[in-house]
Amino acid sequence: MTTALIVGDIQRGITDGYPFARQVVPPLTELLPRARETGTLVVFVRFAMRDNGTDLPGGALYRSFFDAGDAFHEGSPGTELTLPVAEEDVVVLKRRASAFAGTDLDLVLRARGIRHVAVAGVATSAMVTATCYDAADRGYQVTVLRDGCADSDQSVNDVLLDKVFPSRGFTVMSCAEWT
């Protein structure tokens, strides 16, 4: 199989703390067994920062996550994945929006001969967008799973899924349509 499912930021601190994020849990929970049955590599990407803040860039965005406390601090319960992880799955720790930025994700995908990625997670305007553009820049075919994505601003979510992603050559479909 040359396909990977990348699920980003579906972790306790986000699904417990941000109501919009909870809506992706049921479709992704249903999708995971089907993806694994087809031999798709399932990759969970979780977001965490070091407790001492040494990985904080300048600017207010990441500072706000860091200041939110345990929800985003490495080793805290807030960074534990919400969805069930199987033995054959891969878990990647990231410290930026893209699942590729500063991680070994590209190495893992290339070692497995992956050429196509399906991306799901929260937020659509952050992790999903950054990961999709990064994947495309690295030569992967990209599919975005519509009901596997959510954003705190529904209008932004809809514009990305209905206009921006298709205009960039990304396929957009539901979790049920994908496998």
Query: Residue 150: what pLDDT?
Result: 98
Statement: residue 82 has pLDDT above 90: yes
Q: Rounded to two decimals, what is the model's pTM? A: 0.95
Whether residue 6 contacts residue 136, with contact meaning beta carbons closer than 8 Å, is answered with no
Longest alpha-carbon distance in the chain: 43
Quick one: pLDDT band at residue 147, thresholds 50, 70, 90?
very high
Question: Mind listing the domains of the chain with CATH numbers?
Answer: 3-173 (3.40.50.850)
Statement: residue 66 has pLDDT above 90: no
Quick one: pLDDT band at residue 89, thresholds 50, 70, 90?
very high
DSSP 107-128: HHHHHTT--EEEEEEE-IIIII
